[in-house]
């Protein structure tokens, strides 16, 4: 379900906020559905299918429920005995020590919860008592910091809104001794890099028809690219009719360089940004909608998909370059 709903949303160029506005379902709930924490009932599934213009069976249906992982249940059960044991040890030490005798510092941290930005940390009460609720929260958050869940959380929380800014979603707090730093921030290092798909699918989904370094994309140092087209019936195969003429958009800011009727790229456009070192290229266009030397912004339409030049059918040939070196576009289209 996670991959299906996220891919459908992204194929329409929608952020979580956009889908929340269109569907009336809170963005946090949609995020939980994409993460697999919250599942769909039949009516919600049908409503989302109508909003995304797909058949209801394109989105798997299950009863609406929250399904905590076994790891979280085990940690939650273990939190109370651990907290009771620590509290008992602290109280026993305090009671057995003569008045005025300093108590040796406890090895247990006085604060087990790292407060989010803008909120002061919660500390244990004076005397060393442990906040059971805080300890339970910390243990549950630690479970969410496993590598697999962090990868999913990072992809959802770091997704940018249309204006280039990150959506205001609060990342879950977790103990610094367990969760690695910069799990989410690492996706925000280079905001000038190309990101998102270079074409818009009005219906169906975007599919890769030729991978990086495959076929005519070899050698990668010269021709490395991905080919994109539109699949409207969900069989994973491109359909020429719906593909031809769809909008091609710039995936980063830069200056347009236009090469009409080139070979083998046909109507070919490059977006160059000398300040950042990023360049992208868009080949086999049916129409070019920018002029040479024109300044364009990310998301601006620069042309339409076609089959000009050396092409066996309508598709978009898409390249990414960094300081003159051809790189695989896959990580960039996946980081919407």
Which of 282, 286, 203, 196 has its CA nearest to residue 238? Answer: 203
Which of 305, 307, 310, 330 has its CA nearest to residue 320? Answer: 330
Which residues make Cβ contacts (< 8 Å) with residue 149, sequence separation at least 6? Answer: 35, 143
The CATH architecture annotation of domain 205-333 reads: Distorted Sandwich (2.70)
> Reduced to 3 states, what is the DSSP secondary structure of residue 126?
coil
> Is 142:175 a contact under the CB 8 Å cutoff?
yes
pLDDT of residue 248: 97
> Is 261:267 a contact under the CB 8 Å cutoff?
yes
pLDDT of residue 27: 80
Q: Which residue has the tokens 């939190």?
A: 79
Chain segment 237-247, per-residue pLDDT in tens: 999 999 999 99
Q: Break the chain into its structural domains and give their ranges.
A: 205-333
Chain segment 55-77, per-residue pLDDT in tens: 877 777 654 443 334 444 444 45
pLDDT of residue 167: 47
pLDDT of residue 116: 41
Counting as low any pLDDT under 50, the low residues of the chain are 1-2, 63-76, 103-130, 139, 142-143, 145, 150, 153-154, 156-187
Which of 298, 194, 227, 303 has its CA nearest to residue 259? Answer: 303
DSSP state of 164: S
């Amino acid at each position: 379900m996670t991959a299906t709903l996220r891919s459908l949303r992204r194929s329409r160029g929608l952020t979580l906020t956009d889908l929340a506005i269109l569907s009336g379902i809170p963005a946090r709930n949609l995020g939980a559905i994409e993460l697999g924490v919250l599942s769909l009932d039949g009516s919600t599934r049908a409503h989302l299918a109508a909003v995304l213009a797909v058949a209801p069976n394109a989105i798997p249906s299950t009863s609406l429920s929250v399904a905590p992982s076994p790891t979280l249940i085990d940690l939650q059960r273990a939190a109370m005995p651990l907290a009771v044991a620590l509290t008992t040890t602290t109280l026993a030490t305090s009671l057995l020590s003569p008045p005025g005798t300093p108590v040796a510092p406890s090895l247990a941290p006085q604060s087990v919860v790292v407060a989010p930005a803008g909120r002061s940390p919660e500390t244990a009460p004076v005397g060393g008592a442990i906040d059971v609720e805080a300890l339970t929260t910390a243990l549950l958050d630690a479970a969410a910091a496993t590598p697999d869940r962090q990868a999913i959380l990072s992809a959802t929380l770091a997704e940018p809104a249309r204006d280039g800014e990150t959506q205001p979603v609060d990342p879950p707090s977790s103990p610094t001794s367990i969760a690695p730093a910069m799990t989410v921030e690492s996706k925000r290092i280079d905001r000038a890099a190309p990101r998102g798909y270079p074409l818009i699918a009005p219906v169906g989904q975007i599919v890769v028809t030729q991978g990086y370094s495959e076929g005519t994309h070899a050698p990668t140092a010269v021709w490395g690219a991905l080919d994109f087209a539109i699949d409207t019936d969900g069989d994973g195969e491109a359909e020429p009719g719906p593909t031809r003429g769809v909008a091609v958009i710039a995936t980063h800011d830069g200056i347009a360089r236009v090469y009409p009727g080139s070979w083998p790229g046909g109507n070919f456009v490059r977006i160059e940004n000398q300040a950042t070192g990023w360049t992208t290229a868009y080949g086999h266009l049916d129409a070019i909608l920018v002029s040479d030397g024109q300044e364009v912004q990310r998301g601006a339409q620069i042309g339409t998909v076609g089959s000009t030049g050396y092409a066996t059918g309508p598709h978009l040939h898409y390249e990414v370059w960094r300081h003159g070196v051809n790189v695989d576009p896959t990580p960039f289209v996946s980081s919407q």
